[in-house]
Structures are given as structure tokens and as C-alpha cells.
Amino acid sequence: MHASARGVIERWKDNPVLTPDDVPYPVETVHNAGAVRCGDEIVLLFRAHRRSGRSILGLARSRDGVTFTVDPEPWLVPTDDPPLAEYERFGVEDPRITPLEGAYWITYSAYSRHGVRIALARTRDFRRVERVGLVSQADMRNVALFPEKIGGRYARLDRPHSGIAPWSIWISFSPDLVHWGDSRRLIAPAPYHWDEMKVGPGAPPIRTPRGWLVIYHGVFETMDGAVYRLGAALLDPEDPTRVVGVADDWILAPEDPWEVTGYVHNVVFTCGAVTEGDDRLRLYWGGADQVICTGTARIDDLVELCLTRPRPALGDPA
């Protein structure tokens, strides 16, 4: 029997797992968290709006994946040090965490009057953090590093903005994690489909026996504003420039009251997931840009959706 997209993610019964009230410093929101295992903890790096409307990154820790304690101070705030200061002035947003070669690498959006660029930071312990620098020009968002080199190069999924082309998921390569190129488009929004307005990578790609599992967000424009949902795609395990399949249906849509109503209505948006045992994925998502929710799915179910009911990666859906 084929897995059905509806219900493929089992929501945690006590969502949301983090709200602004859980944060010991003033914030309006807590959402869009990168996630990783670090020792016996799950660490979330989340985006939080200050009253000004500008964002900072906060850190929360958990032993069980559902009960979190937030550190007393923000983890990363816009820097005053040049040259990055000029590019982080309006805030830092949407971090993704990738463990790679003994460190945790964090890609985040750096906002300024010059647009949105991606910056890279690294840490070994989530106590000290070192900024590496900017790794894209404007305008770029949603950068997720692969957790291993591919063909001798670092690889990432990214999502350039364009006034001309649809906002698509691309793949790029680098010799050093700083200089990127050889970019190719992988997955485009599908016209008149739930992800027709834009798509963007979510959690860093997850290696499975049948390929790299990509959880992405897709946006649909309505008369009532945009709706953000999550979808799944599979890339070839050896050559991730080849798309194996993009699931036709979404895997998660705003349904719970705190996903439907909040800072921005009708949003589920992910930056992170961790594996649980051999066969499950624990996904974290922002609900309505205001709270953090979690749920789990069988990795095989997600993979099967990509294989059995795919839509064209770059073209019209069936």
C-alpha cells in the first residue's frame, strides 16, 4: 500500500514545544529552528523577533526532543564587527545546522539594506561561536549544507531570489565552504500547484539508502495571503544534481490553531530535523512564525511518497 501524504507526520501531542513565554529574554516569536544532536542533547537554534521586528538567534536544549530549556541569553545577535556588521544590521534569521568534519556549521540569513545574504558560522560545542563570513551575494535565502563532501567538494542546497525566474531550489558546490559555484537548478515551483509561488530547502539533506531526503517549503498565494506548507523530495545518493522524485502532495500543512494564526498566519516552516533510531525523522517547524512544533515520520514513508507519486521536478504537475 502506498503511504498517504496526509498523516505521514505524526504531530507531538503537546505542541507547541516552545513559545515566546519559554524564552528568558524579551521576544515576540520563537520559530524556524535548526536542529542537531550534540552529545546527549538535541540543540535547537531558533529565530526570534525582537519588538523592533528584527531577528536574533536563540538556543534551546533538550534530552528527549520535546522538553526544552532556553539559554539565558541570545546565542547570536547582529555583529558590530566589520565587514559583517553592514550586512547583519536588520537581523539574523532561519539558521540551519550541519555537522561536518568535527564541527557544527550554521548557515543563516543576514538581513540589511543591501538585501538578504547567507552567512556561515561554526561551533564545536554551542558555547563559543565563530563567524566564518558571508557565503553568498544578495539575494539568497534557505541555504542547507550537505553533511558530507560529494565528489570531493562541499555541497549545499540554496534558493536565490529572482525577479525573472521562479524561486527554485538549486544545488551549489565549493572547495572550501566559502566560495560557491557550479550551481544548478533542481526543483522549481509547480504552476497551479500547492507550491506554485516559491520553494526553498528546509532541513539539511538526510542520507537514506535510496537517496538524499530533502524536506522543503512550498508557498501558495491565496486571496487571504500566502500559505506555507512542507514537501519532500529525493536526490540521487551519489549524484544529488539528479532529482529522483518530488512528492506530489505536501507532507505538512498549517492545521493546528498555532499554525493557522500567529505572527504570520498559515505558516509551517522548517529549518531542522534529527533522526530517531534508524528509521524515524523528528522534524521541527515554526507554527505561524511564532512557536516551535515537532512531529515524527517514518523515513521510508517520506521516501516512498517521493518515489510513488512524484511530480515533475522542473515542470507542470500531472
Binding site for ligand BMA (CB under 6 A): 32, 93-94, 228, 264, 267, 269, 286, 289
Cβ-based nearer residue to ligand BMA, 195 or 301? 195
Instruction: Select from 114, 258, 268, 132 the least CA-distant residue to 200.
Output: 268
- The rounded distance, in Å, linking the Cα atoms of 76 and 160 is 24
Q: Whole-number minimum distance, CB 131 to ligand BMA, in Å?
A: 20
Q: Whole-number minimum distance, CB 142 to ligand BMA, in Å?
A: 8
- The rounded distance, in Å, linking the Cα atoms of 28 and 90 is 16
- The rounded distance, in Å, linking the Cα atoms of 230 and 224 is 19
Helix (H, G, I), strand (E, B) or coil at 215: strand
Strands (E), 130-197: 130-134, 140-145, 154-160, 169-174, 181-187
User: Measured on CA atoms in the order 120, 126, 130, 131, is the torsion positive or negative?
Assistant: positive
Cβ-based nearer residue to ligand BMA, 245 or 262? 262
| Secondary structure element (H or E) that encloses residue 200, with its range | strand 198-201
Cβ partners under 8 Å of residue 163, min gap 6: none
Cβ-based nearer residue to ligand BMA, 143 or 234? 143
- The rounded distance, in Å, linking the Cα atoms of 46 and 285 is 10
Q: Whole-number minimum distance, CB 255 to ligand BMA, in Å?
A: 16
DSSP-derived secondary structure for 15-65 = --SB-GGG-SS--S--EEEEEEEETTEEEEEEEEE-TTS-EEEEEEEESSS
Q: Whole-number minimum distance, CB 94 to ligand BMA, in Å?
A: 5
Cβ-based nearer residue to ligand BMA, 93 or 301? 93
Q: Whole-number minimum distance, CB 141 to ligand BMA, in Å?
A: 7
Q: Whole-number minimum distance, CB 93 to ligand BMA, in Å?
A: 5
Cβ-based nearer residue to ligand BMA, 248 or 289? 289
Strand partners, 93: 109
Cβ-based nearer residue to ligand BMA, 58 or 211? 58
Cβ-based nearer residue to ligand BMA, 105 or 228? 228
Q: Whole-number minimum distance, CB 266 to ligand BMA, in Å?
A: 9
